Chain A
Amino acid sequence: MSFLKLEHIHHTYFTKTSATTALSDISLEVEEGEFISFLGPSGCGKTTLLSIIAGLFQPTEGTILLENRSVNKSKKKIGYMLQQDYLFPWKTIEENILLGLKIFGIEDSAKKEYAFSLLEEMGLKGYEKQYPKQLSGGMRQRVALVRTLVTEPKLLMLDEPFSALDYQTKLRLEDLVSETLKSFGKTAILVTHDIGEAIAMSDRIYLFSARPGQIHQSFEVPKVLRELSPFQARNHEIYTQLFQEIWKELESLE
């Protein structure tokens, strides 16, 4: 039995003038502790799929089971990180990271303690009373990560969380996120259009083709790479080979 199971997911968006099929027959399984990437050109429905897994809306057809239960009932087990940090500008860093607990109504001192320890781990101790606009982009995205982790989700959704950052910050944050998720044994799904990022961070990569979004092929990342940090993985020779392989497949899609 797998941790997350998607069976024949179809999704169609309706507008007055058209019906667009965003996803067609997506089936996949994810084991606990795995790091999965959805890679593909824009418009292949990656983000739609992520939102469906997160239970933000229902697919037109198909079922999603998280630990054998429907996702709507297990919302608290899922954390979601967006392209930009979307920290609330009128809340302090402290209020921002405690937001999830507040919504759940479980704002006790032990959980708060945990939140602050996470913040410290991310190297952001002492910023609790500041407002988001006082922090740099990388710092804000780290705060967003803390906000997501505070509620202790079992499954983490990362929707291109590094795409708005500069390259250096992005590399550093990849390492940090990868290390953090590994140490907590979290299952994660990363949506990205960056082949390198997908290879460096994940255990398995699903390559999507567009219009309608379908799984074109899946790639297992070799064990050697998986054991390295994203930054080190990028310098390994197998990384380059896999990059070429995926690149060719992506080219053939267009």
Chain B
Amino acid sequence: MNNNQPVELLHKNYIKKLTYEKRWVRFYQFIIFFVFFLGWEISSKKQWIDPLIFSAPSKVWDLFIKKIQDGTLFVDLGYTLSETVLGFILGTLLGTILAAILWWSPFLSKVLDPYLVILNAMPKVALGPILIVALGPSMTSIIAMGAIISVIITTIVVYTAFKEVDPNYIKVLQTFGATRSQCFKEAILPACFPTIISTLKVNVGLSWVGVIVGEFLVSSKGLGYMIIYGFQVFNFTLVLLSLLVIAVFATIMYQLVELLERKLIKSN
């Protein structure tokens, strides 16, 4: 290039190409959304699918408006959302603390290793009935379900990350005479923030599973209860409404975690 003009022009073209591509991506995303709901509505109207089982977007929408007007949707949503968020935070926090304890004591980690493997392999929702008996058929046992389902996998993943931190960072700190807790605070934990965040993302999904199953088992409120109730009275419009609401809020939670990620790991 002899002068700046063509370079600027090329850059402009490049940016134009990027926005152009982005627009097409958005367009096709919208098309899929639109076709899905339109197809659902039409095939339900035309009786290609059983409207009793698969309902229709318009019916779900009507129920949605109705439930907003009488306020019952907010009650159910409030219950499930607070249970999920609490279960999620508790599971991640406990898992990270457990990982820290295992890192702290290599002996303990050797002792507990087989138990972690067993607990991880065990389907946690199978513990549901025991939890309900132990903690009572209340919100507490549902939150416990939300937490227990993610705590072991968090422990394992975060502990592995702790162990894989480059030992030379520890060496740097040790030459300054750092204690084990200083090493943890200055090197191990910050080095593992990316891993912790990615387990957060997994845990968002897991906590929803735990809470919904918990509500299946015990609750008389919440989105999971809406599903099980709708199933029992064969009102699948209610089931689908609940599913859609869950989808929306699970996505929002995931987005919030991504926001946190961008805030926390801006340096890397």
Contact = CB atoms under 8 A, between A and B. Distances in A.
B176 A86 contact: no
Contacts of A102: 186
Tier of interface size on chain A: 20 to 34
A56 interface: yes
The residue in A75, A82, A90 that gathers the most chain B C-beta atoms within 10 A of its C-beta is A90
A243 to B, nearest CB: 31
Overall SS of chain B's interface: helix
Interface string B240-268: 00000000000000000000000001011
A200 interface: no
Nearest to A82: B168
Interface of B: 166, 168-169, 171-178, 182, 186-187, 190-191, 193, 265, 267-268
B178 A103 contact: yes
Contacts of B174: 56
Contacts of A92: 267
Interface in A40-56: 54, 56
Interface string A79-122: 11010101011111000000110111000000000000000000
A149 to B, nearest CB: 12
A103 B267 contact: no
Contact of A90 (B172, B178, B182, B191): B191
Interface in A55-78: 56, 75-76, 78
Contacts of A75: 175-177
A84 B268 CA distance: 18
B267 A86 contact: no
Interface in A133-185: 133, 151, 157
A86 B177 contact: no
Given A91-B190, A99-B186, 4 more contacts: A82-B171, A86-B168, A90-B193, A90-B267
A3 interface: no
B195 to A, nearest CB: 13
Contacts of B178: 103
The residue in A75, A80, A86 that gathers the most chain B C-beta atoms within 10 A of its C-beta is A86
Contact of A88 (B169, B171, B176): B169
The 4 A-B residue pairs whose C-beta atoms are closest, nearest first, are: A80-B175, A75-B177, A103-B176, A100-B176
B164 to A, nearest CB: 15
A92 B190 CA distance: 13
Contact of A103 (B171, B186, B268): B186
B268 A90 contact: yes
Contacts of A151: 176
Given A80-B171, A82-B171, A99-B186, A89 B267 contact: yes
A88 B177 contact: no
A131 interface: yes
A90 B268 CA distance: 7
9 contacts: A56-B171, A88-B190, A90-B191, A99-B176, A100-B176, A103-B177, A103-B178, A131-B267, A133-B267
